[in-house]
Structure 1
């Protein structure tokens, strides 16, 4: 009965997460299409930077606050704040004012994501954190497949204001899901928050000192930066290879389609506890797909390898979540996850810059190095952990990690 209840709670949370993530994708597409319509190209860049840059400055503080307060309340307040920003953005017409409001919403999203990550084990219960993470990453993968399509389809007929309002409604759905299924737990983990900056560096310290997470951080930084290079370069390269926007859209869908079974693979009993295998095996598939994308400028080949790359992307994302959940003490989960998001956003911004054709190299060359660097970083990590006989790490929880005051 307890396991059935946990499955029901987790299913409700996964559906709420799916709806909210679809809403986010719709909102981004709406703003990008607004920016791309008879406006300078840097307006599109502005939309993406509003998503990536603001959280960099406050993420560690927000993560620390979530760890020291009631995470469920923090999650609910952050969701409500996000919804409020999108309602306000819907009500005004100025593009830059809308971007500013969405930037504030993205800061709130850091607190929401940190609280969500911290509370996954509590919601999962006897189902297990590995299956919970697999379900949540699968929801994100499905959202990345259908969200842009829905946003693009309704943009001309509905307009960006309506689409922003749709996103606000999806936050309401997530808020209800969190309220209903996430348990409220108060314990001696909670402390006074009179100084919000206290403990802001602890998440970084605890990750750096972990025998598993510490060595992975520079590897993950290289992999994220390298794969982000393709994010911009691929727009120009793939549209040229595809020949038309319809085929280009299918190529992007192939990656998102492959990510769904890749995410589900994290719940398979034979893989669920092999966190490093999911993370590094997934990264290898991603790097190989990007490398082959540059080598073979043929749409049908790229579509095929993109399915494999997407599979690896989904498995990799599940592995990352599992490793942080397992090898970081639960009292530090929110802070650690906030720091990981800082790492991701920083590397993505740098990758977008490097991958912009003409900055350092042309689009195809950028994609070649995107795949090559990903493969090299992954193989280095495999050699490192293999030499220490940890590649088959089964997820034994670290309990001896301490943090300096």
Structure 2
């Protein structure tokens, strides 16, 4: 495929990820807010909302990603987008917390293969030398979508269900508008993917040695480099998740309220956007693993220094630095997984990694509140910074393994 067509293809995939993630981020932020108020400000219901959306995706993604290795990936992505649009269309007309949660759970399961399958397709759209650039572009779209989505959802809810005690009718109206917006974003994403030039798969060999829905997890466990990265990610995210739970409490320590809370989350997301841009320009196959270790250390530095920041503005600067590290690390990790996993099992390998990521986050959310209550947000952030350092220590011995670039069974 011509270089211009390759770049167009990657940008369309990145655009699809940006749009769908912005819509989903808005929808799930609104869902948590609506359920919180419909249940009399129940944190337990919010916890169940996180568990049955983020947690459900973690459970099902490893199996659902098999679709991307069994069928044509473009078709899988388009059908998944259309089914997710239908799910949010149904969600528009739900009224009770139980109804919202049940349909949201089903929709989260439907969405679960999108990340792994779209990431597995990227190496087929570009030349080997352009893979790091392509991953950086897609990561830029993903990070912008994750940054914009919750803000958009909060803004729409504020328009239709303003105040600290909105009426049930206003909450339903706000939910309908946000979920309706997400229907549109999934339809646009399906159109972008469906009209992207290029192939989303290599030519399939029916004699593939990688059989079954859990073949990706088997491949990941047997590959020493991928296994090491997955363990490091699990350790790191256990600390990150606890710190996310403590963001509101940290904002309160700066006497900045909801504005400070939003700024802290946005600072990290904005840093990740910057990091993905840097990764487009600087990462290559030869330096991906070194960059991964360095980026994790930078992210840990930003995270840990947030714990001792005397003022909110300093904390925001630290979070931006941490986000930059996270943005670079995400692109480097993606490239390493894509290069080491053959096409016929790549969706399942990336799905296995996504499962580890989401389940680690879900576990950290489960006990994060207890840790924050017991130790306070600053110590929790310090622990988060230490988990980054521990992750870097786990990654470091794997550098020698990267000198051998052959795929491993």
TM-score, normalisation: structure 1: 0.89
Equivalent residues in 2 for 1:5-84, closer than 5 Å = 5-37=5-37, 38-84=40-86
1:236 aligns with 2:249: yes
What is the match of residue 341 of structure 1?
A: 354
Q: Structure 1 residue 311: deviation in Å?
A: 0.3
What is the match of residue 102 of structure 1?
A: 104
What is the match of residue 162 of structure 1?
A: 177
1:254 aligns with 2:267: yes
Q: Say which of 312, 331, 352 aligns to 2:325.
A: 312
What is the match of residue 379 of structure 2?
A: 365
1:354 aligns with 2:367: yes
User: Which sits farther off after the overlay, 67-76 or 132-141?
Assistant: 67-76
Residues 175-197 of structure 1, C-alpha deviations (whole Å, 9 max, x = no match): 001110153657333589xxxx9
1:189 aligns with 2:205: yes
Equivalent residues in 2 for 1:141-220, closer than 5 Å = 141-158=143-160, 159-181=174-196, 183=199, 187-189=203-205, 199-220=212-233
What is the match of residue 88 of structure 1?
A: 90
In structure 1, how many angstroms separate the alpha carbons of the residues matched to 2:218 and 2:231?
A: 14
Say what the alpha-carbon RMSD is for the aligned residues.
2.4
Q: Structure 1 3/378 Cα, relative in aligned 2: closer, same or farther at 3 Å?
A: same
Residues 348-377 of structure 1, C-alpha deviations (whole Å, 9 max, x = no match): 012112321456533322222111122123
8 Å contact 1:283–1:316 — kept in the other structure?
yes
In structure 2, how many angstroms separate the alpha carbons of the residues matched to 1:333 and 1:118?
A: 6
TM-score, normalisation: structure 2: 0.88
8 Å contact 1:26–1:148 — kept in the other structure?
yes
8 Å contact 1:123–1:181 — kept in the other structure?
no
Q: Which runs of 5+ in 1 are unaligned?
A: none
8 Å contact 1:258–1:309 — kept in the other structure?
yes
Matched residue of 2:95: which SS? Answer: coil
In structure 2, how many angstroms separate the alpha carbons of the residues matched to 1:118 and 1:184?
A: 8
Q: Structure 1 341/126 Cα, relative in aligned 2: closer, same or farther at 3 Å?
A: closer
Q: Structure 1 150/58 Cα, relative in aligned 2: closer, same or farther at 3 Å?
A: closer
What is the match of residue 295 of structure 1?
A: 308
In structure 2, how many angstroms separate the alpha carbons of the residues matched to 1:152 and 1:93?
A: 19
Residues 209-267 of structure 1, C-alpha deviations (whole Å, 9 max, x = no match): 22321222222211121211211022212232243322332222211111111011211
Q: Structure 1 residue 276: deviation in Å?
A: 1.3
8 Å contact 1:7–1:127 — kept in the other structure?
no
Q: Say which of 270, 289, 292 aligns to 1:279.
A: 292
Aligned length: 391
In structure 2, how many angstroms separate the alpha carbons of the residues matched to 1:90 and 1:372?
A: 42
1:221 aligns with 2:234: yes
In structure 1, how many angstroms separate the alpha carbons of the residues matched to 2:188 and 2:277?
A: 24
In structure 1, how many angstroms separate the alpha carbons of the residues matched to 2:68 and 2:268?
A: 34
1:326 aligns with 2:333: no
Q: Structure 1 260/242 Cα, relative in aligned 2: closer, same or farther at 3 Å?
A: farther
Matched residue of 2:88: which SS? Answer: helix
